[in-house]
Amino acid sequence: MTTRNPADIRNVLLCGGSGGGKTTLTERLLFDTQTIKRLGTVVEGTTVSDFSDEERAHKHSLQPAFTHFEFESHWVNVIDTPGLVDFVGHAVACFPAVETVAVVIDPTRGIDTVSRRMMAIAEQRQIPRMIIVNKIDDPQVDLEAITDQIREAFGGICLPINLPAPGRTKVINVFEHDGSDALGDSTEFSSVHAAHKAIIEQVVEVDEELTGIYLDQGEKFDSTKLHGAFEKCLEQAHLVPICFCSAKTGAGIDDLLHIFASLCPSPVEVNPPDFVKRYGDDNAETEPEHVWHAKPDPTANTLAHVFKVSSDPFVGKLGIFRVHQGTMRAKADLFVDDMKKPIKIAHLFVLQGKDHVEVDALGPGMIGAIAKVDEVKFNGVLHDSRDLDSVRLIPLPLPRSMFGLAIELKNHADETKFAGASHKMLAEDPCLVIERIAATNQTVMRGLGELHLRVVLEKLKHQYNIELITKTPKVAYKETITTKAEAHYRHRKQTGGSGQFGEVYLRIEPLPLDHADGFEFVSEVVGGTVPRQYWPAVEKGVKQVFAEGAIAGYPMSGVRCVLYDGKYHDVDSKEIAFVTAGRRAFMEAVSKAKPVLLEPFVNLEITAPARHMGDIAGHLSTKRGRVQSSDVISGDACVVKAVAPMSELLNYANELKSMTAGAGAFSMEYSHDERTPPLVQQAVIAQYKPKAEID
């Protein structure tokens, strides 16, 4: 395969809510361009896009699928992305690879949260958008009503570029036809003439000269001269075309392919993705970062962005990238970010679902893959010039991983195997997190929802033969005191020879909750009752309790401890004796200082359809949450901001999904600690089983 002229390449991302028909649409596009000979189905598990065992079992796309075809002398890359809320991170990660984001809407369900989110992110990243209304063959669908919903949700810039003809077996392109030719003026709703006039007027608004010509010529205006203005409209977010089709029957597919080839922007026509670059003699970290754009020039230095990493059972680790500048060739040496040594690109591939087609070179605008290169990572930049060492993509707005499960190996002999498997899975999924929580002594796996983690656990079991025990993660409580207290302890142990002796007197008092360290230890000993060399031992004993907890097994915070007196023995006093005395005295002092548990509170921001605002606020009140604000925003949506205890939100991802039929989304971040209510504190303390003290 030779490199393509960037002007003849189209990169389109299909996204939107689950059930919209993206995978079936991709299959239809491949079939109608004679790229595949048989039309597969999701139910049978025979589509090009859904080829993994997990996808076939769940009957849903769980990973982006990369396909391509040729139409009207153009090379079209189509990325089919998951629509389930738990996997939208994979869709967002692919945004830098395309010039067109096509949101596929199921008219039987209306506009879902995922579609709204994809439209908003594409607008934020200045990527041209289009909307594809699928399933027009359903006679129960009110196509005029769904068009009105789209315009209400996303604005008057959304205009039909084609309309279903009577009977819904084909569509009429209203950009190229005005209703006066053989195709006629009749459609399922509106008219060809009215829709043609609306979209032409929208397009000419971006060009004063064209506006003048249009006003002069009126109905006789030649729309074939509007290609440049059309691209400008898309680039400036002045137009979002609405296309109608049926992936099931094939109605409107030919026109959709024509729109992809003739009107969707190429890599040379629209806003390139924003990278940042440090300028200076050494690209040092101290140099300021500036926005930098790649040039789709095949002769320039090579630069490609890795937007997906996957593991293939046959070729190993696969780094999937988009070439933004220069030409990438097989056998070439490339740098990954600012690595000192280059990597060798042994083979280059273009992808067609699970199939890998080897090529010798890929130019600007092409999407490809390299295999068996361990240094390749998600969001990495491949380049062939040291001058590009500091180039990075501006961070993507990936959804936060809020749903967590505490995990433990069922067979601890699998530790080494699990380390390797988890490393691979973390590299593949930018929204998967595995972390060790010191405060609770647990390993927690976090994802975007219950289904996300269930698929991860299934993959670990079936692909790596690793089983995990899961449970709800513990809350990272803290222990503290509310008043001053004093205590002393004498540790004396005689075992036949020299014994152990140490006696300490401690005073403790609360520190402010916002104290930098949350702990202070000072000595006010006078007269040498406790020699200076034993002070660190006393502090060590105190810190042991501070780390392990005194009443419920959680770390302590906000305590000032004063060593003010004690006794020692010239022969029997040892460091271990004062460690034990300090530990026991501190525990007794805490028990007298009215100890309490502190629980973490988080700031919540919930986005959902406006009709659910009351349900969300009421539900939060049952969880000791406090609503700070609630606002209705554009697109008949609402934003609710609140603070709530983390202990009440461990399953909130699933609860919100149930409450809003999957249309709600939320983010949260740590805010502050508050005292735990007495009943909750009693329940937590009752579960604590302290270790037996050993002298």
Where residue 635 falls among pLDDT bands split at 50, 70, 90? low
Average pLDDT over residues 560-578: 91
674 and 477 Cβ atoms separated by less than 8 Å: no
| Residues 24-45 pLDDT 10s | 999 999 999 999 999 999 999 9
CA–CA distance, 276 with 362 (Å, rounded to integer): 23
239 or 633, which is more confident: 239
Q: Are residues 150 and 298 in the same domain?
A: no
**List of residues 6+ apart from 96 with CB closer than 8 A:** 125, 273, 305, 307, 322, 393, 396
Q: Which pLDDT score is estimated for 521?
A: 95
Is residue 496 very low, low, confident or very high in pLDDT (cuts 50, 70, 90)? Answer: low
Identify the pLDDT of residue 281.
52
C-alpha separations of 294 from 228, 361, 364 in Å: 21, 18, 10
* pLDDT at residue 333 tops 70: yes
Per residue in 269-300, pLDDT (tens digit) is: 888 899 998 775 555 555 677 899 999 999 99
Domain assignment of residue 355, yes or no: yes
Specify the number of domains making up the chain. Answer: 5
User: Is 277 contained in some domain?
Assistant: no
Predicted pLDDT of residue 168: 93
pLDDT for 317: 87
**Residue 614: count of CB within 10 angstroms of its CB:** 12
**pLDDT score for 448:** 84
More confident residue, 213 or 453: 453
Query: CA-CA distances (angstroms) from residue 108 to 21, 129, 158?
Result: 12, 22, 19
Q: Which of 594, 623, 643 lies at the terminal end of a domain, its last residue? A: 594
Amino acid, single-letter form, for residue 82: P
The separation between CA 630 and the C-alpha centre of its own chain, rounded to angstroms, equals 25
- Written as one string, the DSSP assignment of 70-123 is EETTEEEEEEE---SGGGHHHHHHTGGG-SEEEEEE-TTT---HHHHHHHHHHH
153 has pLDDT over 70: yes
CATH of residue 152: 3.40.50.300
Give 397 or 695, the one with higher predicted confidence: 397
CATH number at residue 603: 3.30.70.240
Domain boundary residue, one of 571, 594, 617: 594
Kindly report the CATH number assigned to the domain that includes residue 438.
3.30.70.870
Whole-number Å distance between alpha carbons of 91 and 96: 10
Q: What is the CATH number of the domain that holds 516?
A: 3.30.230.10
Assess if residue 492 is contained within a domain. yes
Asked if residue 285 is part of any domain, the answer here is no
**Per-residue model confidence (pLDDT) at position 157:** 96
Does 221 lie in the same domain as 153?
A: yes
* CA distances (Å), origin 128, targets 73, 119, 227: 22, 10, 15
Residue 459: Cβ within 10 Å count: 21
Residue 439 above 70 pLDDT?
yes
* Residue-averaged pLDDT of the chain: 90
User: What is the pLDDT at residue 374?
Assistant: 86
Q: Is the dihedral of CA 251, 257, 260, 262 positive or negative?
A: negative
Amino acid at 248: K
Q: Are 167 and 139 in contact (CB under 8 A)?
A: no
- What is the token pair recorded at 377? 């990572």
For the ranges 137-141, 614-618, 666-670, the lowest mean pLDDT is seen at 666-670
Sorting pLDDT into bands at 50, 70 and 90, what band is 615? very high
DSSP string spanning 363-375? -TT-EEEEES-TT
The yes-or-no verdict on residue 695 having pLDDT over 60 is: no
Dist. CA 611–CA 634, nearest whole Å: 13
Task: Supply the pLDDT for residue 74.
Answer: 96
284 is a domain residue: no
Q: Are residues 647 and 578 in the same domain?
A: no
Q: Which helix (H) or strand (E) holds 446?
A: strand 442-447
In this structure, the answer to whether residues 463 and 316 fall within a common structural domain is no
Domain that holds residue 142: 6-262
Same domain, yes or no, for 501 and 624?
no
Distances in Å between the Cα of 312 and the Cα atoms of 52, 92, 127, 144, 399 are 10, 22, 30, 45, 25
Residue 138 has pLDDT above 80, yes or no: yes
pLDDT tens sequence across 3-22: 789 999 999 999 998 889 99
pTM of the model: 0.81
The pLDDT tens digits of the residues spanning 51-107 come to 988 888 889 999 999 999 999 999 999 999 999 888 999 999 999 999 999 999 999
Contact criterion met (CB below 8 Å) for 590 and 510: no
pLDDT single digits (tens) 202-261:
999 998 888 888 888 776 667 777 888 999 999 999 999 999 999 999 999 999 999 999
Question: Are residues 581 and 603 located together in one domain of the fold?
Answer: no
The pLDDT of residue 489:
94
| Domain harbouring 372, CATH code | 2.40.30.10
Instruction: Classify residue 288: in a domain, yes or no.
Output: no
Most confident of 41-45, 106-110, 362-366, 523-527: 362-366
Is it the case that residue 525 has pLDDT exceeding 60?
A: yes
**Does 483 share its domain with 432?**
no
Residue 221, domain member (yes or no)? yes
Name the pLDDT band for 180 (thresholds 50, 70, 90).
confident
The whole-number average pLDDT for the span 611-630 is 94
Binned at pLDDT 50, 70 and 90, residue 495 comes out as confident
Kindly state whether residues 247 and 298 are assigned to the same domain: no
Q: Within a domain: residue 287?
A: no
Question: Does one domain contain both 57 and 180?
Answer: yes
What is the distance between the alpha carbons of residues 163 and 143, in angstroms, rounded to a whole number?
Answer: 9
Of the chain, the percentage scoring pLDDT greater than 90 comes to: 66
- Whether 180 and 312 map to the same domain: the answer is no
Does pLDDT of 600 surpass 60? Answer: yes
Which of 357, 424, 433, 375 shows the shortest CA–CA distance to 401? 433
User: Residue 27: its pLDDT value, please?
Assistant: 97
* Co-location of 465 and 509 in the same domain: no
Of 540, 571, 594, the residue that ends a domain is 594
Question: Are 218 and 367 in the same domain?
Answer: no
Q: Is the pLDDT of residue 634 over 70?
A: no
How does strand 442-447 pair with strand 74-80?
unpaired
pLDDT of residue 66: 96
pLDDT value at 140 more than 60: yes
pLDDT at 2: 58
